[in-house]
Amino acid sequence: MASRLNPYLNFQGNARQAMEFYQGVFGGTLRLNTFGEFDPEAGPIADKIMHGLLETPSGYTIMGADTPPEMAHNLGDTITVSLSGDDGLELRRYWDKLSASGKVSVPLEKQMWGDEFGACTDQFGIPWMVNIVQR
């Protein structure tokens, strides 16, 4: 699997509806995971979308999620660039360069879903997420 770069959209409680809308627009396969699937103590956000993935017949990939209440959700700041793949060496190299002069919000490390994941904002204010798929 080659690494891919795609948008990651952030919503405020309506990610399911938005991702289903995009599926209606672009077609394709939609996978949605809730906060409750990964955290049995998610409480009031248990049914909200922790991660949504739409892969379209045209080769587009759109990801999206509901912003948890403890994170800021400001219109205009609702998109992140996501890098994902299974080439750990390549993705760690990107991570090192993107995060070196920026601000790390989630260190690149193994997460509850089994992949290595990190989030940072680069020196130009662009938010990035890097996900190294574990096979």
- Supply 77's token pair: 């700041």
What Cα–Cα distance (Å) separates residue 62 from each residue in 46, 47, 79, 84?
Answer: 22, 20, 11, 12
Token pair, residue 95, equals 């991570």
Q: Cα(25)–Cα(5) distance, rounded to whole angstroms?
A: 20
Q: Quote the pTM value.
A: 0.72
Instruction: Report residue 117's pLDDT band, with 50, 70 and 90 as the boundaries.
Output: very high
pLDDT digits over 43-62, tens only? 999 999 999 999 998 888 99
pLDDT one-digit tens code per residue, 60-73: 899 999 988 888 77
Q: How many residues in total does the chain contain?
A: 135
Which domains are assigned to the chain?
4-132 (3.10.180.10)
Tens digit of each residue's pLDDT (9 = 90 or more) over 21-47: 999 988 999 999 999 998 888 899 999
116, 63, 62: which is closest to 85 by C-alpha? 116
